[in-house]
Amino acid sequence: MGDGVSEICLVVGAGPGIGRAVGMAFANAGLDVALASRNPANLEPHCREIRRETGRSARAYAVEAGSGDSLQALFDTVGAEMGVPEVVVFNAAHAHRGRPTTVPVDQWLADFRLNVLGALTCAQIAAPGMRARGHGSILLTGGGFAHEPSALYASLSADKAALRSLTYSLAQELGGHGIHVATVTVYGLLQVGTHFDPEKIADEYVRLHQQTRGNFEIEVVYK
């Protein structure tokens, strides 16, 4: 910050919707953007759009968000090619329909590995460098199921509650080191042209990142 080097925003789970909108929002705020998903070829048109509309650098990367090795490789590659991220946004999620008594245990575990442990792994990778620099943001996409669980989406409900808890515990650990950990709890279905337009939601991530130490919000409930 303030050294003439472009800041980097890494979005893990940059699929259609919030992930891509967050990338554009941070580029508009002056950051270069790394977008990561299972299918990076699908992100190339959006990267070109970001470069064209904002003049910022934007690159697409492959990642399996439920794999610690894949996430570490992502951070290593982005760090080597673009720079160490100042902002890490975890937006990846598995969302499967299923009631508590019908979802196979293996599916519960697979969902938790991506939805929660993926976010934790990103924080564990990013935190040491951010702590050394004394600044940085780790922003996690939450959901209304964290507050009002749904039996039809039992696994996702449990995981969003766990992710919210993780956000608060990470904020307690890292906030004193100048690292802003926060969640945007999206309390509704995404729809372009409405209050739940991904572009409007994405602005909340930028706003959180721009908050100063001592004024960090931990959760934005977007409803």
CATH code, 187 = 3.40.50.720
Domain span at 141: 8-222
- Does the reported pTM lie above 0.85? yes
Tens digit of each residue's pLDDT (9 = 90 or more) over 80-131: 999 999 999 999 998 889 999 999 999 999 999 999 999 999 999 999 999 9
1 is a domain residue: no
57: number of CA atoms within 13 Å, CB side?
Answer: 13
How many domains does one find in the chain?
A: 1
Q: What is the helix (H) or strand (E) element at residue 143, kind and residue range? A: strand 136-143
| Whole-number pLDDT of residue 208 | 98
Residues 40, 194, 111, 12, Cα dihedral to 10°: 30
**Helical axes 105-112 vs 154-174, angle rounded to 10°:** 30
In one-letter notation, the amino acid at residue 116 is: V
162 Cβ contact list (under 8 Å, min separation 6): 112, 115, 116
Residue 5 reports pLDDT greater than 80: no
136 is a domain residue: yes
176 is a domain residue: yes
| Whole-number pLDDT of residue 15 | 86
What's the chain's average pLDDT?
95
Separation between Cα atoms, residue 125 and residue 150, nearest integer Å: 32
Rounded to 5°, angle at Cα 188 from 49 and 66 = 65
Residue 50 reports pLDDT greater than 70: yes
158 is a domain residue: yes
